[in-house]
Amino acid sequence: MQARQPARPAEVDAAAPLLVFDSGVGGLSVLRKIRALLPDAPVIYAADNAGLPYGTKTEAQIAARVSGLLGRMTERFRPRLVCIACNTASTIALASVREVLEVPIVGTVPAIKPAAAMTRSGVIGLLGTEATIRQVYVDRLEAEFAAGKTLLRHGAPELVQAAEAQLRGEPVDPAVYARAAVALRAMPGGDRIDTVVLACTHFPLVQPELAHAFGGDVRFIDGSDGIARRVAALTEGQTWNREQDDVALFTRGGQDVERLRPALAAYGLGRVAIL
């Protein structure tokens, strides 16, 4: 009797997009790295600007909002993979989202492990939202990968606003970046920080400004390279067919969205839509 052959995985629709999700435009820093590895991948970039900022919300509010939105969007757009390009959403809602969605999901976590390998002084700064820096998930990352090191955390919601404003072409007061640097430097041992984890996907968008504020002796790291590699690995061997311009999808319209159009186009997002 001939043995049964294992079932072959279902063919992925070549036009099925990657869905990259963030509270705002911070996930563009992740999209940039994904495009470098997968230039032919059709993309839906989804920004929950109606819920921005996530960092000031409760864990329950964030978990419910992220799960609900991603449920609606995966049902409507049938993506081949979802990338939650938001540290706050990932550290709070990633596990619950994975339980309810039948699609590969890649999350974003603070890059504490590579930062611990990079630091020479043993003192690491971490900039994130207030919601991210207080998470037990971050405590676990610190205990596992930065034992013997000092991790100093600071919630910097101003940097989220600064990144959003900068992409809209609006001026940003340099004091915003100086305050973030001063806050970390003022903590015990902060004068020895030589590595800073950018634990919000908005923050790499303003890394040059942060580098100027901290001075030339500090190196920055975020998780975008690892995220892009993971997305590429999970879609390895799949075919891609971009049938139309990629789209930036917002949960609320308005003038702020209109002012983002030039920046979105620079990231390959030629269309704008409202959910």
What global pTM score does this model have? 0.92
pLDDT number for residue 11: 78
The active-site residue, picked from 200, 205, 210, 248, is 200
The active-site residue, picked from 66, 84, 86, 141, is 86
Does residue 212 surpass a pLDDT of 60? yes
Tens digits of per-residue pLDDT, 137-151?
999 999 999 999 999
Does residue 249 surpass a pLDDT of 80? yes
CATH number of 112-222: 3.40.50.1860
Mean pLDDT of 205-230: 96
Mean confidence (pLDDT) of the chain = 94
Mean pLDDT of 94-114: 94
Burial class (CB in 10 A: 0-12, 13-18, 19+), 84: buried
Burial class (CB in 10 A: 0-12, 13-18, 19+), 101: middle
83 is catalytic: no
**Hey, where are the domains in the chain?**
18-108+225-274, 112-222
- The encoded tokens of residue 29 equal 């820093």
Answer yes or no: same fold for 18-108+225-274 and 112-222. yes
Does residue 228 surpass a pLDDT of 60? yes
CATH number of 18-108+225-274: 3.40.50.1860
